Structure 1
Amino acid sequence: MFGTFERAVAGRYLRARRGERFVSVIAAFSLIGIALGVATLIIVMSVMGGFKVDLLNRILGFNGHLGVYGAGAPLVQYEQDATKIAAIPGVVTATPVVDGQALLTDDRGVAVGGIVRGISQSGLRGLHAISHHIVAGSLDAFQGNDAIAVGIGLARRFGASIGSDVTLVSPQGAATAFGTVPRVRAYKIVAIFEVGMNEYDSNYVFLPMQAAQIFFQKPDQATQIEVRVADPDNVAAIAADVRKALGDQPVVIYDWQQNNNSFFAAVKVEQNVMFLILTLIILVAAFNVISSLIMMVKDKTRDIAVLRTLGAPRGAILRIFLMCGASVGVTGTVVGTVLGVVFCLNIQTIQGWVETITGTRVFNPEVYYLTHLPARLDWHEVTQVIVMALGLSLLATLYPSWRAARTDPVVALRNE
């Protein structure tokens, strides 16, 4: 497409000579602008993609993919129902759970509202988001009527450790002649977990199944059956199989897509908006390419006229200036891609350096839910960014190159 003559002339024009430094400086700024735009776009899209995936994994790892609830009443035959659900192809686990809200207090009077979840010891071991992230204590002691497992955020707030007491107060107390008396029960901390998501680490506690049934006055009952499947994207088909397996029982089934649809839809909208906003950086750099090429064409008018007089066709002149502009766009895109990919691959190290230098936390888990800055390189998105940057750079070169090719050598030499 580009001949030796055209490449030689384009290379000569790109090497600034004395008196032509200004055009070269503009081209350099255009290159830097494209590189920064591409790098920023790759980094931001990777971080937002990593945030979405990491958050999704933590939510699903903690809550399961399906929830089977009793329609207007707790589940009574939950053991039999869990056995039926576990036998369905594609189901990994089916765990009965007792859920409820309570006020959590310590000996100092510090109080916080939380979610109390009753689950069997084997069920909690199968919940890898908890069992694989125990930072103190052991699940071996998670049994009996006075054991409790709490998140590290709650333990820090109470200043509690293994063996400390946590008191649960339920607003749904027993009715007496003097009114409703709240149920109050103290439990001993046997395990402290760290999921890595502040909402779960600070607001959720676990009780053994029988202890939770006693506290919430639901003997031989379960609030829901948490189901985990092998393929979360196929959860709708599994839900249909679960309903068939349970027959005519009055149950309500919710999957993770229904429970978190609005949240992840908002994240997707943010990704699209950030992509459009950061594309403007590359667009501005592309306008700089246009201005630098127009100035180059103006500066090289006499050279163009001489080349046309010597027999160079208009197509050759067009390709020469296309190469001049495209080289800036291609080089800037390559440099920006390398910078963005290297930054994403080392983002945890860079975050550590920034926090060490500034002495502050870059990523506050109380605001952003997660305890670290995630980054997930999606090569499909990286390819989209590269193609978009190259496309904008090429479009930016078309008009100045066309103007150069339309130069009349007679008029140009007469004006000189």
Structure 2
Amino acid sequence: MFNPFERMVAARYLRARRQEGFISVIAGFSLLGIALGVATLIIVMAVMNGFRTELLSRLLGTEPHIVVSAQQRGLTDWPDVLKRLQALPGVVDVQPVTEGFGLLQANGRTSGGIVRGVRNEDFLRSPMAQKINAGDPTKFDADEDGIVIGFRLAKAFGLRPGDQLQFTSPTTSATPFGSVPKQKSFKVAATFDLGVYEFDSSLILIPMEIAQALFGVGQGVTALELRVTKPAGDLKPVMAAVEQAAGPGLAVRDWQQSRAGFFEAIDVERHVMFLILSLIIMVAAFNIISSMIMLVKDKGRDIAILRTMGATQGTILRVFFLTGASIGVLGTALGFVLGVLFCRNIEAIRGLVERLSGANVFNPEIYFLSKLPAIIEWNEVGQVVAMGIGLSFLATIYPAWRAARLDPVEALRYE
């Protein structure tokens, strides 16, 4: 497409002489602007992909994938429903739970919390049992009133394994003095650390039979929680099978429905950030236009001489297009390298910035992740690179067209 003569002239125009240094400075800033824009966009999108993937994996590791609950109070025939659900293909595990909200009191502090009643055998294979950070999970027992709570909740109440925690249920029991809320005092057997703030700060696991008595469901449960083989995939076939096996009168919802607003907000934020940061590349592309227009004006006599020596308008257009496009391509390539290297070494860079500044750049207490995640999606990187090169090409078209349309007679009239 470009012959050796056009490439040679374009290369000479890129290496500006001393008297053309100002044009060279503008071109250098244009190249640097595109490089920074491309690198920033790659880094930000990788970090947001990392956040989304990390949060998704943690939620899917702790939350039930599908929940079957009774529309009325309590699910009484849950053993039959549980057997039907366990027989479905794609269902890994089914656990009955009795869950409710109540008032927590300990060490003079009061707060609300989520109490979930589970069977002992279900607790031992739950994520909470695998993430115990203090205490003895084997003391989770109805006879000893042993419970397991989130470590952030224990920290807020100043509790340690062996301490007492009182729970007041919203349901009431009839007494000679009238209806009074049901209360129960528990002993903290252990604490868990799931790495998900919502659970670590408010969730309490208690034995199933105690929860049934506190919430007044008799021998029933409030829900059946299912885990499936591919929770991140298409759940519609599994949902249809679960709804059919559960029967009428039961509500079925999956994690995508219960967390739809959360992940939609993350996706909207990703798209908005992509749009905003793309403006950096567009600003750099405008710099290319300005530098190329100044170069065309400065090279007017050279263009006229080339035209009189037989160079066509197409030749002039290709020379200046190649000059401007080279700035965009080099800047995009530099930005791609910087962005990928930054993402690959983001934890080391974070540590270096924290040591130099003395500030905590990424506080796990705020973001609830132990390290700064960055996952490169090569499709997105390809889109960023294509956008950088495409905007650079578009920015070069008008100055190159102006150069090709320059009249040699007008350019040499006053020389």
TM-score by length of 1: 0.93
Contact 2:135 2:191 in 1 (8 A): yes
Matching residue of 1:132:
130
How far apart are residue 365 of structure 1 and its match? 5.6
For 1:360 and 1:83, how far apart are their aligned partners in 2? 55
For 1:121 and 1:322, how far apart are their aligned partners in 2? 73
| 1:102-157 superposed Cα distances (whole Å, 9 cap, x missing partner) | 22222x211221111112233234333x3332222343332334111111211221
For 1:111 and 1:40, how far apart are their aligned partners in 2? 46
Matching residue of 1:23:
23
Aligned pairs (5 A) from 1:215-230? 215-230=214-229
For 1:178 and 1:361, how far apart are their aligned partners in 2? 56
Matching residue of 2:70:
70
Matching residue of 2:87:
87
1:3 aligns with 2:3: yes
Q: Which residue identity lines up with residue 63 of structure 2 in the other structure?
A: N
Q: Which residue identity lines up with residue 154 of structure 1 in the other structure?
A: L
Matching residue of 1:328:
327
Q: Could you tell me the percent identity over the aligned residues?
A: 51
1:170 aligns with 2:169: yes
Matching residue of 2:317:
318
1:274 aligns with 2:278: no
For 1:84 and 1:242, how far apart are their aligned partners in 2? 9
For 1:179 and 1:387, how far apart are their aligned partners in 2? 74
For 1:132 and 1:339, how far apart are their aligned partners in 2? 39
Aligned pairs (5 A) from 1:3-402? 3-106=3-106, 108-128=107-127, 130-145=128-143, 146-232=145-231, 233-247=233-247, 249-364=248-363, 368=367, 370=369, 372-402=371-401
For 2:308 and 2:162, how far apart are their aligned partners in 1? 94
Q: Which residue identity lines up with residue 11 of structure 2 in the other structure?
A: G
Q: Which residue identity lines up with residue 341 of structure 1 in the other structure?
A: V
How far apart are residue 366 of structure 1 and its match? 6.4
Contact 1:67 1:254 in 2 (8 A): yes
Larger CA deviation: 78-87 vs 381-390: 78-87
Larger CA deviation: 82-91 vs 72-81: 72-81
Contact 2:171 2:216 in 1 (8 A): no
| Secondary structure of 2:216's aligned partner | coil
For 1:360 and 1:87, how far apart are their aligned partners in 2? 54
| Secondary structure of 2:413's aligned partner | helix
How far apart are residue 348 of structure 1 and its match? 2.9
For 1:278 and 1:136, how far apart are their aligned partners in 2? 45
Q: Which residue identity lines up with residue 158 of structure 2 in the other structure?
A: G
Q: Which residue identity lines up with residue 305 of structure 2 in the other structure?
A: V
For 1:359 and 1:191, how far apart are their aligned partners in 2? 35
How far apart are residue 302 of structure 1 and its match? 1.1
How far apart are residue 358 of structure 1 and its match? 4.1
Contact 1:198 1:371 in 2 (8 A): no
How far apart are residue 372 of structure 1 and its match? 4.3
How far apart are residue 293 of structure 1 and its match? 0.6
Q: Number of residue pairs matched? A: 413
How far apart are residue 282 of structure 1 and its match? 0.6
For 1:182 and 1:299, how far apart are their aligned partners in 2? 88
| Secondary structure of 2:205's aligned partner | strand
| Secondary structure of 1:320's aligned partner | helix
How far apart are residue 2 of structure 1 and its match? 1.4
Q: C-alpha root-mean-square deviation of aligned residues, in Å?
A: 2.0
For 2:171 and 2:398, how far apart are their aligned partners in 1? 75
| Secondary structure of 1:190's aligned partner | strand
TM-score by length of 2: 0.93
| Secondary structure of 2:343's aligned partner | helix
Which contiguous aligned blocks of 4+ residues in structure 1 show a shift greater than 6 angstroms? none
For 1:126 and 1:326, how far apart are their aligned partners in 2? 60
Larger CA deviation: 112-121 vs 287-296: 112-121
Contact 1:197 1:365 in 2 (8 A): no
For 1:141 and 1:356, how far apart are their aligned partners in 2? 43
Larger CA deviation: 286-295 vs 33-42: 33-42
Contact 2:137 2:189 in 1 (8 A): yes
Larger CA deviation: 295-304 vs 371-380: 371-380
| Secondary structure of 2:18's aligned partner | coil
User: In 2 relative to 1, CA 306–382 (structure 1 residues): closer, same or farther, beyond 3 Å?
Assistant: same
Q: Which residue identity lines up with residue 137 of structure 1 in the other structure?
A: G
For 1:384 and 1:395, how far apart are their aligned partners in 2? 16
How far apart are residue 295 of structure 1 and its match? 0.7
User: In 2 relative to 1, CA 37–63 (structure 1 residues): closer, same or farther, beyond 3 Å?
Assistant: same
| 1:369-408 superposed Cα distances (whole Å, 9 cap, x missing partner) | 6554332211111111111111101100000011111112
| Secondary structure of 2:349's aligned partner | helix
